[in-house]
Structure 1
Amino acid sequence: MTGRPRQRRPGAAVLELPPEAPADPAGPATARVTPLGLPAGLLRTARPRQWVKNVLVVAAPAAAGELFARHALTRLALVFALFTAAASAVYLINDARDADADRAHPVKRHRPVAAGQVPVPVAYAAGGALAALVPATAAALCNAATAVLLTAYIAMQLAYCVSLKHVLVVDLVVVSTGFLMRAMVGGLALGIPLSRWFLITTGFGALFMVAAKRYSEAVQMAGKGGATRSLLTEYTTGYLRFVWQLAAGVAVLAYCLWALEEGGAAHTGLLPWRQLSMVAFILAVLRYAVFADRGIAGEPEDVVLRDRALMVIGLLWLAMYGFAVADW
C-alpha cells in the first residue's frame, strides 16, 4: 500500500465531523446561570457565615441593662436584619467590582460572581437595591439616628472597597469602626445613651482583634511569594504587634475605669459583680492574646469557638456582668 492519498469518487458521501466547541475564555471557574442557582449564588455572596458578627447589635442595650425591656427584642431583631442587609449590600458590590481580579485568584475564583453563577450586573443591582432599601426602612421603622448610622456604614464600607483598603492604618481603623458601629446601632435604635467608656472599650477591643488578625496573616505569609491582602506586605509584624498590644491595653484600662466608676454606686447585690467582671475581662484579653502572639488569630468567631478555655471565660464574664446589671 502506498502513501498516496485516496481520491474521492464523484458522488461518494463525505463524513463530516462536528466542529469543536470553542474554549471557555473564563476557564473552569465559569458556571452556567440557572433559575435556581442565581438565588443560591446571591445568598452565598451575602456571606451568611459573617452574619454572626451582627449579634453585636445587642451590646449597648445589654450594657445598659435594657436588653429585655418592652419591645427591645423585637426592635433589635429588626436592627440585626437591617445591619445584615447593609453588610450584604457591600459584599455584593465588592464582589461585582473585583470579579475580574477574583477569577485569577486560586480561592476567590470560586465566589459566585467570579464563577459566573451570579452575573456582575445582577450583583450590582442587588447590592444597590439593598443599599438604598436599608436606610429607608430604618428611617421608617426605627428612627433617624439608626438610618444615619446605617447610611454612614454603607458609605464607609464602599469607600473601603474602592480605595481605603489600600491606605496604611486607615484600613485598620475602618474595619474596627465597622465593629463599633454594630455595637452602637442597638443603643441608637432604642434611644439608649452611649457612655464614653462603652465606646472606648468597644472601639479599642475591635482594633485589638483586627490588628491581631492582620498580624497573624503577616506572620503566616512571611517568606512566601504573595499575600491575601495587597496592603499586608507594607506592614511589618513589629508594627502590627505594637498596634494590637496598644489596643488591648487601652481596652482593658477603659473597662476597668468603667467598672470601678459604675460599681461605686450603691447596690444591694451579694457581691460587687461589676468589679469582679474585670478579672474575667482581663483573662479573656490575655487568652486571646495567646493566639495573637502565636500568629493564629484569624476570624474572631473562629478563635472563640475553637478554644474551650476562652469560651468558659466568656461565659463567666457574661454571668458576672448579668448579675451586675440585675444588681443581684
Structure 2
Amino acid sequence: MNMMRTLLADLKYIIIAMRPKQWIKNFFIFAGLFFSRNMSDLSLMLDVTIGFLLFCLAASAIYIFNDIIDIPRDKNHPKKSKRPLAAGKLSIIKAGLASLSLITVALTCSFSLDEKFALILLAYSAMNILYSIKIKQVVILDILFIAFGFILRVLAGVTLAGVYPSDWLIICSMTLALFLGFTKRRQELVFQSSDTTSRSVLSEYSVSFLDQMIAVVTACTVMSYALYTVSPETVARFHTRNLVMTVPFVLYGIFRYFYLIHKKGHGEDPTLLLLNDKPTLVNLLLWLVSVAIIIY
C-alpha cells in the first residue's frame, strides 16, 4: 500500500514537472494545416495531431531537465521554489529517468511518423537542451532561441501537412514569439528586480531597454500580419482580399496584452495569461473563426 502511494505521488509530481499547461505553445504546429485549408483532411489532421503530442512529450522532457539544472536557483525563487524538484518532492534520479523516457519515446515515435519531422524535433530538443545549459544566460540570444523554437514548431507542422512553409507564416510566427519573449523578460525583471539569483541574465537587461525592443517587435508583428493579409500571394492563394478584416483582432490582442502587463502586472507567464484572461480567449476564438470563414 505504501509503495502504491509512493508511486502515485511520484507520478503526480512528474506530471506537474511536465508542465502540461505549457503545451498550448505547441498548437503552432497546426498553423500550416490551418492556413493550407487542409483541416478537413482526416489523414493529415491525424499526423499533425500525433506530431503535436510528440512535441508535448519532448517539451516536457526538456522542462524536467531544465528544472534539474535550476534546482539551486529555483530554491531561492518565491514561485519556482514550489516546483516538485526545487521543493524536494521529486528526486533528481526519478526526474532524470522520467525526462530520459519522455525524450526517448518522442524521438523514437517521431522517426516512425516522418523522418523530416523527426529531424526537426531532434533539432528542437538539442536546441532547448543547449538553451537550458548555457544560452538562457546569454542576453538577447536567449530570446532569439525561444523565438526559433516557435519557428521549428511551425516547420514541423507544415512538414507533416505536406505543404510549403509560407514566408509570411514564418515571419509572423517569429515576430509574435519575439514579442512574447521580450514582454516575458520585462515582467520577470519587474517582479524580480531585487532578486536575480533565479536568472542571472536579468541583470543584463533593463526595463527601458526591453520596452524599446518590445516597441520594435510590436510594430513588426502588426505590420507583418497586415502585409500578409493584403499581399498578392495571399490574395491569389485564398481568392479574397477580406483577410485584412481580421487585423483588428490582432490589434486588440496586442493592446489587451499591454493592458494586462502595464495595468494588471501580468505577463510573467504568457501561457497562464492566455488561459486565464477571458477577453483574450474570446478575441482569439473570434480571430480563428473569422479567418476560417474567410479562407475556407
TM-score (normalised: structure 2): 0.88
The structural deviation recorded for 1:70 is: 3.0
Q: Which residue of 2 aligns with 1:179?
A: 150
Q: Which residue of 2 aligns with 1:278?
A: 247
Residue aligned with 1:65, SS: coil
CA pair 61-100 structure 1, distance change in 2 beyond 3 A = same
| Cα-to-partner distance string for 1:4-33 (whole Å, 9 max, x where unaligned) | xxxxxxxxxxxxxxxxxxxxxxxxxxxxx9
CA pair 96-73 structure 1, distance change in 2 beyond 3 A = same
The structural deviation recorded for 1:153 is: 0.9
The structural deviation recorded for 1:50 is: 1.4
Tell me, in whole angstroms, the C-alpha distance in 1 between the residues paired with 2:252 and 2:150: 21
Tell me, in whole angstroms, the C-alpha distance in 1 between the residues paired with 2:181 and 2:22: 15
The structural deviation recorded for 1:64 is: 1.5
Which blocks of at least 5 consecutive residues in structure 1 are unaligned?
Answer: 1-32
Tell me, in whole angstroms, the C-alpha distance in 2 between the residues paired with 1:155 and 1:268: 40
Q: Which residue of 1 aligns with 2:173?
A: 202
Greater per-residue helix proportion: 2
Residue aligned with 1:168, SS: coil
Is 1:291 matched up with 2:260?
yes
The amino acid that maps onto 2:108 is A
| Bigger radius of gyration among the two | 1
Is 1:149 matched up with 2:120?
yes
- The sequence identity of aligned pairs, in percent, is 28
Count of aligned pairs between the two proteins: 290
Residue aligned with 1:71, SS: helix
CA pair 293-118 structure 1, distance change in 2 beyond 3 A = closer
The amino acid that maps onto 1:138 is S
The structural deviation recorded for 1:173 is: 0.8
Q: Which residue of 1 aligns with 2:19?
A: 47
Query: For residues 124-143 of structure 1, what are the structure 2 equivalents within 5 Å?
Result: 124-141=96-113, 143=114
Q: Which residue of 1 aligns with 2:214?
A: 244
Match of 1:303 among 242, 263, 273: 273
The structural deviation recorded for 1:226 is: 4.2
The structural deviation recorded for 1:178 is: 1.9
CA pair 268-42 structure 1, distance change in 2 beyond 3 A = closer
The amino acid that maps onto 2:251 is I
Tell me, in whole angstroms, the C-alpha distance in 1 between the residues paired with 2:80 and 2:285: 35
The structural deviation recorded for 1:275 is: 1.8
The amino acid that maps onto 2:141 is V
Which segment drifts farther, 208-217 or 161-170? 208-217
Is 1:98 matched up with 2:67?
no
| Cα-to-partner distance string for 1:183-228 (whole Å, 9 max, x where unaligned) | 3322111222111000000111111011111112222334x34464
The structural deviation recorded for 1:51 is: 1.8
TM-score (normalised: structure 1): 0.80
Instruction: Tell me if structure 2 keeps the 8 A contact 1:204–1:251.
Output: yes
| Cα-to-partner distance string for 1:249-275 (whole Å, 9 max, x where unaligned) | 112111122111245338777xx4312
